[in-house]
Amino acid sequence: MATKRRKKTENLLVLHPDAAGIDVGASELFIAIPADRDPEPVRSYPTFTRDLHELADWLQSCGIRTVAMESTSVYWIPVYQILEARGIEVFLVNANYLKTFPAERATSPIANGSNIFTLWDSCEPAFVPQE
């Protein structure tokens, strides 16, 4: 039986040190920030409005200025709106593009927030309609 070799993302060049990665689901968000920003750099939050504001508070307290979000449905919209209102630059990442890149997916589907932008620089952003 053949074994696939997994490429490691440990040696990726960090292009955006103040970045976080968010995987958006219907009932839960998984967030990863650089490990030196918080003792618990990977967290999950429910998707209620109160929790989204708590998430934004945490990101700001950790010095996060940019976020890449991966979502396969419309669940990203309230997260996007709240983070953008707080002055955090938000990029919606097309999940189909990310599946083509090697990534460590331990606790969080986006295991290292700053490394996601190394991959992001190779992807096209998803379309986000203006209001």
Instruction: Read off the pLDDT of residues 1-57 as tens digits, 9 standing for 90 and up.
Output: 455 544 444 555 666 788 888 988 899 999 988 888 999 998 999 999 999 999 999
Mean pLDDT of all residues belonging to the chain = 75
Assess if residue 37 is contained within a domain: yes
Amino acid at 79: V
CA distance 48 to 111: 23
What percent of the chain is modeled with pLDDT above 70?
60
Residue 81 pLDDT? 94
Residue 129 included in any domain: no
Q: Which residue has the tokens 């996007």?
A: 80
Question: How far is it, in rounded angstroms, from Cα 93 to Cα 69?
Answer: 6
- The pTM of this model reads 0.73
What is the predicted pLDDT for the residue at 62? 95
Q: What is the pLDDT of residue 86?
A: 97
**Average of per-residue pLDDT across 104-112:** 42
CATH code, 56: 3.30.420
Residue 84 lies in a domain: yes
Domain extent, residue 51, equals 19-120
pLDDT band at 131 (very low <50, low <70, confident <90, very high): low
Helix, strand, coil distribution of the chain in percent, nearest 5: 25, 20, 50
Number of folded domains in the chain?
1
Give the 3-state secondary structure of residue 42: strand
Is 131 within the bounds of a domain?
Answer: no
